[in-house]
Amino acid sequence: MKLVRYSEVAAADFAHPIKANFFAAISISLLLISATLLPYSIDMATVVWGTGAVVHLGFTLSLIARWIKQSHEVIHANPAWFIPVVGNILVPLVGVKLGYLEISWFFFSIGSVFWIVLFTIIFNRVVFHHDPLPRKFMPTLFILIAPPAVGYLAYINLAGGEIDAFARILFYVALFITALMFSMVRVFAQLPFALSWWAYTFPLDAMTIAICDYADRTGSTFFNGLAMVMLIVTSLVIGFVAFRTIKAVMAGKVFAPE
């Protein structure tokens, strides 16, 4: 609707060094929707998955080319940069099941390598730069959970369901970052509501699914219990963020000019 009614504003958003990254959430949504369609219609899932993969590759090429051609300030680097590039890791979740193994490896390779590159850049910006993340961007730190959590799930598909050393590395890195975020709960609890709160949801979803999968494959009693705890916590977080969002919409604080 914004693209149709306010095309100039949408174009300005895509030219913005931070806002442009969120456009890739469109193609990521298509990839996630294809996973829900798979049990009901392989043809429909294939069409939606293929569209999402092609569109996401387009966003990835466009934004990386922009990073190379244009000058950026260190303060522009934030976890949202993971969305267009590291989002490629999502492709194998459905691609392998549809039989597109090589294409899935292609996207996984892009996402996993650039995850390491971008993680280094963003960690440097967060730890060493004199300008801290603005308070409204603090929730995006949860996005750091998503690449290793989704990467574990994607790699398990690519590796034929076997939990090898690399799978364990991805899983335990995701688990550590999750623990790190929860250790900072007092910081996040003091933040005023912003739409960036939605950054809490998908990473926690991904981590919950990863723990459930790991528990099923290992038969670990500990991880079975942790999976239940994460499921409850994630459900509560999603419900609370949805409630605060609806409340903000009703108060006219969303969909308003900056």
On the CB side of 158, how many CA atoms lie within 13 Å of its CA? Answer: 22
Q: How many structural domains does the chain have? A: 2
Same domain, residue pair 4 and 20:
yes
pLDDT in the model for residue 17: 84
pLDDT in the model for residue 129: 65
- Report the range of poorest mean pLDDT among 15-24, 105-114, 202-211: 15-24
- Dihedral over Cα of 21, 27, 31, 32: its sign: positive
Same domain, residue pair 124 and 175:
no
What is d(CA 83, CA 22) in angstroms, rounded to the nearest whole number?
7
Same domain, residue pair 110 and 172:
no
For the chain, what percent of residues have pLDDT higher than 70? 98
Mean pLDDT, range 81-102, rounded to an integer: 94
What is d(CA 227, CA 126) in angstroms, rounded to the nearest whole number?
30
Q: Highest-confidence range of 79-88, 209-218, 246-255, by mean pLDDT?
A: 209-218
Task: Report the CATH number that the domain containing residue 209 is assigned in CATH.
Answer: 1.50.10.150
Q: Which domain holds residue 89?
A: 1-132
Same domain, residue pair 62 and 160:
no
pLDDT in the model for residue 73: 78
Q: Answer yes or no: are the C-beta atoms of 215 and 224 closer than 8 Å.
A: yes
The backbone region for 255, taken as left when phi is positive above 0, alpha when psi lies in -120 to 50, beta otherwise, is left
Q: Answer yes or no: are the C-beta atoms of 67 and 21 closer than 8 Å.
A: no
Same domain, residue pair 152 and 120:
no
Query: Where a domain ends, among 132, 162, 183?
Result: 132
Mean pLDDT, range 200-210, rounded to an integer: 96
Mean pLDDT, range 117-125, rounded to an integer: 89
- Distance from chain centroid for Cα 35: 16
Residue with tokens 């976890």: 79
Query: Where a domain ends, among 114, 132, 150?
Result: 132
What confidence tier does 130 reach under pLDDT thresholds 50, 70, 90? Answer: low
Query: Where a domain ends, among 132, 167, 194?
Result: 132
Same domain, residue pair 112 and 195:
no
pLDDT in the model for residue 252: 87
What confidence tier does 169 reach under pLDDT thresholds 50, 70, 90? Answer: very high
Rounded (10°) CA dihedral 16, 22, 23, 28 = 160
Residue with tokens 């079975």: 224
Rounded (10°) CA dihedral 79, 235, 31, 181 = 20
